[in-house]
């Protein structure tokens, strides 16, 4: 009788433990799926300027959860940033944009292509004689993605409320002894009544050239060209864009002196709110199409 009771107690304890474990798994699974569906129901556009040090990396997520990554920063930090904002099960990125081939914009994208499946890649098509550019071309060849060389005036309609258009380069680039900066893709992204202008590393020469075109440049948020270098952010360009907010992607105590005091003073002159990744870390805008 004692043996029978002991066996029965053992069975009951085992059944209780199994039920407890099954309950934990059920609750955990339910919570995970609730999180997934909760993400699917959001109706907001999210734009994040990642703090990747001295470089650019901008992550855009549409209300339907399609994702766009513009540039990737100077190293693999962008992967850590993506892991924090993308669901654990999501290993795809709908679109990757490389504004130009300088290492502080391109290096992280090479890492992204090795870790994620990318559906569409847009880049400026301008060759560079650098190690990271060779790695980029190899990664492009290995990625099963549609590849587009961006030019003015390509327009990509994403939804009834969202589209972006490439404003620059105006034509097919040739040899550029001055480097990649002035072949940066310049992109205006619109969601409802909210707009963003992404400028890569363009300098004053290109700003003037763009301003002379019949473009609608006015945008709520300006990604300040070339990390706040003194070569960019001319008064003419700022007047044409007329942003409410200027975002500067830059590292702390960088050796280039970015952003220059004269550029900060110029932005303040036009009553533009300044936001900086070196002082704030990641910078996020959440838009409902009418405000952020």
**DSSP assignment letter at 153:** T
Q: Report the share of the chain in percent with pLDDT over 90.
A: 79
Confidence band for 23, pLDDT divided at 50, 70 and 90: low
Rounded CA-CA distance 68/7 in Å is 60
Report if residue 4 sits inside a domain.
Answer: no
Report if residue 12 sits inside a domain.
Answer: no
pLDDT tens digits for 99-119?
999 999 999 999 999 999 999
The domain spanning residue 122 has which CATH number?
Answer: 3.60.15.10
Report if residue 27 sits inside a domain.
Answer: no
Rounded CA-CA distance 206/12 in Å is 77
Q: Report the share of the chain in percent with pLDDT over 70.
A: 83
Report if residue 219 sits inside a domain.
Answer: yes
Q: Residue 35: is its pLDDT beyond 50?
A: no
pLDDT at 172: 62
Confidence band for 291, pLDDT divided at 50, 70 and 90: confident
Lookup: tokens for 241? 């864009």
pLDDT at 176: 53
Higher pLDDT, 10 or 188: 188
Burial code of 129-166, b = ≥16 C-beta within 10 A, e = fewer? eeebbebbeebbeebebeebebbbeeebebeebbebbb
Domain count, the chain: 1
pTM comes to 0.85
**Alpha carbon of residue 233 to chain centroid:** 21
Report if residue 211 sits inside a domain.
Answer: yes
Range of the domain at 124: 42-287
């Amino acid at each position: 009788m004692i043996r029978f009771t002991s066996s029965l107690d053992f069975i009951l304890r085992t059944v209780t433990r199994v039920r407890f474990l099954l309950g934990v798994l059920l609750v955990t699974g339910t919570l995970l799926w609730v999180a997934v569906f909760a993400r699917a129901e959001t109706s907001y556009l999210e734009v994040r300027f990642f703090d990747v040090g001295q470089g650019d990396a901008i992550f855009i997520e549409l209300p339907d959860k399609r994702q766009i990554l513009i540039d990737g920063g100077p190293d693999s930090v962008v992967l850590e940033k993506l892991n924090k904002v993308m669901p654990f099960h999501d290993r795809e990125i709908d679109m990757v944009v490389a504004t130009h081939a300088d290492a502080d914009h391109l290096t992280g994208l090479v890492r992204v292509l090795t870790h994620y499946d990318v559906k569409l890649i847009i880049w400026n098509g301008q060759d560079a004689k650098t190690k990271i550019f060779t790695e980029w071309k190899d990664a492009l060849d290995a990625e099963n993605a549609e590849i587009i060389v961006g030019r003015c005036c390509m327009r990509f309609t994403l939804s009834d409320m969202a589209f972006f258009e490439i404003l620059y380069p105006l034509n097919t680039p040739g040899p550029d002894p001055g480097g990649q900066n002035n072949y940066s893709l310049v992109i205006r992204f619109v969601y409802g009544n909210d707009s963003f202008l992404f400028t890569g590393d363009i300098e004053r020469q290109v700003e003037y050239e763009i301003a002379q075109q019949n473009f609608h440049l006015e945008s709520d948020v300006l990604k300040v060209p070339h990390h706040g270098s003194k070569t960019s952010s001319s008064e003419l360009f700022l007047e044409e864009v007329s942003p409410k907010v200027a975002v500067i992607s830059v590292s702390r105590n960088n050796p280039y002196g970015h952003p220059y005091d004269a550029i900060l003073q110029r932005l303040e002159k036009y009553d533009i709110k300044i936001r900086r990744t070196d002082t704030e870390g990641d910078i996020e805008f959440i838009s409902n199409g009418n405000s952020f």
